[in-house]
Structure 1
Amino acid sequence: MYKELINDLTEALKLSPNNIPIRLRLGKCYDAILDFKNAEDQFLHILKIDNDNIEAKFALAKVYFSQKKHNASLIILEEILPSNANNISFLELYTKTFIELNDLQEAQEIYKSILEIDPNYTNSDIDNKLRLTQVGIQDEIDEDGINSIEKPNINFSNIGGLLEIKKEISLKIIHPLKHPEIYKAYGKKTGGGILLYGPPGCGKTHIARATAGEIDANFISIGINDILDMWIGSSEKNLHEIFEVARKNKPCVIFIDEIDALGANRSDLNRSGSRTIINQFLSELDGIESKNDGILILGATNTPWYLDPAFRRPGRFDRIIFVSPPDEQARKEIFNIYLEEKPTEGVQLDKLSRLTKGFSGADIQAVIDIAVEEKIQQSFDTGILEPLTMNTLNKAIKKHKPSTTEWFNSAKNYALYSNESGLYDEVLSYLKIKK
């Protein structure tokens, strides 16, 4: 069927090579028989004729997805979605792309928007991949606003560099949970709280997820928006139930991002409701009525100076780790991880890492995204898949300024003038400043 149709359409294009509907139909036929290369060629040809053709761009995004070029698919979808925000087909592919990129939280948010547009929408494939793995937890977590409880499929090997941080986490977290009998013999509890602080985009969330993966623990990620949502109504009860879910699924890592928003200094709060929530959270950390053995609470913050001092008392977040921007070797590994599945030519990782001093992991990803966008545009123009080169990446580095600079400007003042306990000594050490 398709073979005859492809032959007919090909003959028709000989007479009318710029006929977009015919070429679009031909590309879709190639896609249907899984001939993705020819399908890609047809859609790229259309975009050379009409660079604003939404249907061709979406078809090209589907082809890239089928070829596992998920980042290329993502870039196209993010270009066409703003003007097609209610297109369920577009949103469905967008959801699947984030699933393949292992960003399940973003996939869930998009999936929710699909269901808001069409409450009767179903997709068993997406449902299966986003469904919670723990039987009996689904209703509890949905009611309480937690996004998911999961078993992360990454560990420390998926994180570039940060050797000292990995070593410190191993000593404070991994060994106690892997060898609880040793700690029990000495009357030492396992679990507790650790605070990760540092400039944004340096991998605090990634480290938390990898830590859970390293010890094969369950993982609950709570964004500050989830917590703020829970403040409506019986907030204390909901917060307690989050910890109860973790206690029933030991070993478990609870990760709370932007914890400074939850744990703001109580002396700065005017609302009694907010102070009550903080007190409840501190009570859960202490495990007054329930044992927290086997529960690890990881908090992440960009602004530790706003955190209530009560959070740092023994048994709470008394272990504090500074997550600095990646060093040169780490930047090399991060570039290697992000470029591994992309078409490249003559890329020198050592040189890239030297050129990006002070860049966070997120900054490096942004650099690569800038370079990829340029190459996708070139691919539209030339009709062939253009590889990333040093020239393209160098230009992208010059366009993007490190996002960590502003953070260090603020942190430096606190480290110099509000550092009686030595909490920020690692910041001074990183900046090579002597007290």
Structure 2
Amino acid sequence: MDESTVASLRAALEATPENASLRAVLLRALAGLGRVDEALELLGSRAPEDFPSKDDRVAIAELLLAGESPARAVQFADTGTPEGLIVQARAYLELDARDEAQRAYREAVLRNPTLEDVALKARLTERVRTIDQTGETGAGPRLKVIANDDTDETEVDRLLQPEVRTVTFADVGGLDGIKRQIEKRIILPFQKPSLFRRFRKKVGGGILLYGPPGCGKTLLARATAGQCGATFLNVAISDILDMYIGESERKLHAVFERARASTPAVMFFDELEALAGKRRFSREGTSSKLVSQFLSEMDGFAQNNRGVLILGATNVPWALDPAFRRPGRFDRVLFVPPPDREARAAILERLLEDRPIAGRVDVSTLARKTSGFSGADLEQLVESAVDEAIEASLAAGAEVPVTDAHLKVALADTRPTTLEWLTTARNYARFANEGGQYDEVLTFLRKHGKG
């Protein structure tokens, strides 16, 4: 709306100052031009009752919110409409009335789902704490810390750390087949939730990654969360296990509650066998209770796990309690094998990036000579070669780049760590392959002449 139109509206309003509809049109026009102060002056001390149109009152409430008058905005937005409730939610948030804001937002979205606002929802679920940086109550600068979880006072330092860079599939060398499976079965449900809801397909669930140590299960899990745009919760064993009876179960429940409050979320349990090992009728009653609690949390009977993806990783899938493999739990199982030749070349190129290299290292030949190496083995190989180059640099008094010769020396001293695992896995795949759960292992072993 241009200035001439605003001038015409103002002239008309001067002629009929009691015309509430005309005043509302002019208020909207001024707000649209960014002239908030002028609009607020025109509104004056008029009450919501002076404007019979609910749409006009909601628009004025938005104007008041922009003019930093949230209390009046609440009054004007009290129209009983979903649009008014959304404005009230924002206004209550500015007034630090978080409970009222959450109630208004839930009611608005329930009545009109198109009003869902991800940014507003995130603000409504975050927790705020003010910290005195001087150590003296009421003195010195104060810092506001915001967290989307059940953070306690001992975790403030962690919150103040820089955010960890998001990892995506581009950071994972190789594993293209597994990436495609994850894209189809995991990531798409997070990226297209409306489509999956239309087909009544649940988003979330449990996925088990297993394979030799050092083959990228943890990196793959973090990349999956990055691809989904989801909160990534890396659950360490030390976060759960406790010497006191009942504490481990309580901590496990708290971690799941944190994930449910941060959806979409990806929970990652590494070394899963420590928390989900086979239950036996023995003295180990405490571990049996923890397994039962874990199963209950995954089932989500008492809580809703929608939007929570549970990723588990283990080197010993045969040590897990069989109950975890039932539908609704870790019912999707992916074998993460040692990288093939192309993947090893990609990993080596990534590991050698941004390092001083002499000319072009023959990565293709090196990949051919490292059959059976895990990603961690390849990293160790490159680190050993870098150590050789650093020693040469110190001896020469000048920078000596990494060469093929350094990599050859490192290769002679590095052995693959996957062979022991593959030998054990072969025995389970041959003699304990109930329901074909280790068929992928057998296929891999036959393909590489180890079956």
Superposition TM-score, scaled by structure 1 size: 0.66
Aligned partner of 1:399 in structure 2 is 413
Q: Contact (CA 8 Å) 1:132, 1:150: kept in 2 or not?
A: no
Note the residue ranges of structure 2 that are not aligned, 5 or more in a row. 1-134, 136-142
Aligned equivalent of 1:210:
223
Find 2:179's aligned residue among 145, 155, 166: 166
C-alpha change, 1:135 and 1:224, in structure 2 (3 Å) is closer
Q: Does 1:375 align with 2:389?
A: yes
Q: Give the drift of 1:141.
A: 8.6
8 Å Cα contact 2:277/2:320 also seen in 1 = yes
Q: 1:348 to 1:269 in 2, by over 3 A?
A: farther
Partner SS state of residue 400, structure 2: coil
Which residue matches 1:183? 196
| Structure-2 residue corresponding to 1:157 | 170
Correspondence list, 1:8-23, <5 A? none
415, 423, 426: which is aligned to 1:412?
426
Partner of 1:234: 247
Partners of 2:435 and 2:185 in 1: CA distance: 21
1:234 CA drift (Å): 2.5
| Structure with the higher fraction of residues in helix conformation | 1
With over 3 angstroms needed to count, the CA separation of the structure-2 counterparts of 1:231 and 1:401, relative to structure 1, is farther
Does the C-alpha gap of structure 1 residues 136 and 175 become closer, same or farther in structure 2, counting only changes over 3 Å? closer
Deviations 1:360-388 (CA, angstroms, capped at 9, x unpaired): 00000000111111111111111111111
| Alpha-carbon distance change, 162 to 223 in structure 1, aligned in 2, over 3 angstroms | same
| AA at the equivalent of 2:389 | K
Q: Report the counterpart of residue 340 of structure 1 in structure 2.
A: 353
From 269, 274, 278, the equivalent of 1:265 is 278
Residue 135 of structure 1 and its aligned partner are, at CA, apart by 4.5
Q: Distance in 2 between matches of 1:133 and 1:367?
A: 42
| Corresponding residue number in structure 1 for 2:70 | none
Runs of 4+ more than 4 Å apart: 140-143, 148-152, 230-233
Computed over aligned residues only, the root mean square deviation of the Cα atoms, in angstroms, reads 2.7
Shift of 1:349: 1.4
Aligned to 2:317: 304
Structure 1 residues 216, 149: closer, same or farther in 2, change over 3 A? farther
Shift of 1:235: 2.4
Instruction: Write the distance in 1 (CA, Å) between the matches of 2:434 and 2:150.
Output: 44
Q: In structure 2, do the counterparts of structure 1 residues 327 and 132 end up closer, same or farther at CA, with 3 Å as the change threshold?
A: farther
Whole-angstrom CA distance in 2 between matches of 1:315 and 1:231: 30
**Aligned positions of 1:353-392 closer than 5 A:** 353-392=367-406
Of 325, 328, 344, the match for 2:341: 328
Contact 2:273 2:319 in 1 (8 A): yes
- Cα distance, 1:175–1:294 mapped onto 2, change above 3 Å: same
Report how far residue 269 of structure 1 moved.
Answer: 5.2
Q: For residues 249 and 132 of structure 1, do their structure 2 counterparts lie closer, same or farther at Cα, with a shift above 3 Å needed?
A: farther
- The residue type equivalent to 1:203 in the other structure is G
Shift of 1:231: 5.7
Deviation of 1:226 (Å) = 2.5
Instruction: Give, in angstroms, the shift of residue 320 of structure 1.
Output: 0.3
Bigger radius of gyration, 1 or 2? 2
Q: Deviations over 1:258-287 (max 9, x none)?
A: 001111110265321111111111111001
Matches within 5 A, 1:28-67: none
Give yes or no for contact 1:200–1:404 (8 Å, CA) kept in 2. yes
Number of the residue aligned with 2:258: 245
Work out the CA distance in 1 between the residues paired with 2:313 and 2:163.
19
Aligned partner of residue 377 in structure 1, secondary structure: helix
Percent identity between the aligned chains? 47
Q: 1:192 aligns with which of 205, 215, 220?
A: 205
Residues 326 and 360 in structure 1, CA contact (< 8 A), matched pair in contact too: yes
Supply the distance in 1 between the matched residues of 2:229 and 2:334 (Cα, whole angstroms).
22
Deviation at 1:171, TM superposition (A): 1.3
Q: Please say if residues 263 and 308 of structure 2, whose CA atoms lie closer than 8 Å, have aligned partners that are also in contact.
A: yes
Is the Cα contact below 8 Å between 2:324 and 2:330 reproduced in 1? Answer: yes
Counterparts of 1:110-125 in structure 2, within 5 Å, are none
**Partner residue in 2 for 1:426:** 440
* In 2, Cα distance between equivalents of 1:191 and 1:150: 25
For the residue of structure 2 that corresponds to 1:338, the secondary structure is helix
Amino acid at match of 1:421: G
Q: Distance in 1 between matches of 2:146 and 2:397?
A: 43
d(CA) in 2 for partners of 1:305, 1:242: 25
Distance 1:198 1:183 in 2: 30
For residues 152 and 247 of structure 1, do their structure 2 counterparts lie closer, same or farther at Cα, with a shift above 3 Å needed? Answer: farther
TM-score normalised by length of structure 2? 0.64
The answer as to whether partners of 2:245 and 2:286 remain within 8 angstroms in 1 is no
Unaligned runs of 5+ in 1: 1-119, 121-127
2-structure distance, mates of 1:187, 1:297: 20
Cα distance in 1 between the residues matched to 2:324 and 2:429: 19
1:66-77 matches, within 5 Å, as none
Q: Which amino acid aligns with 1:262?
A: L
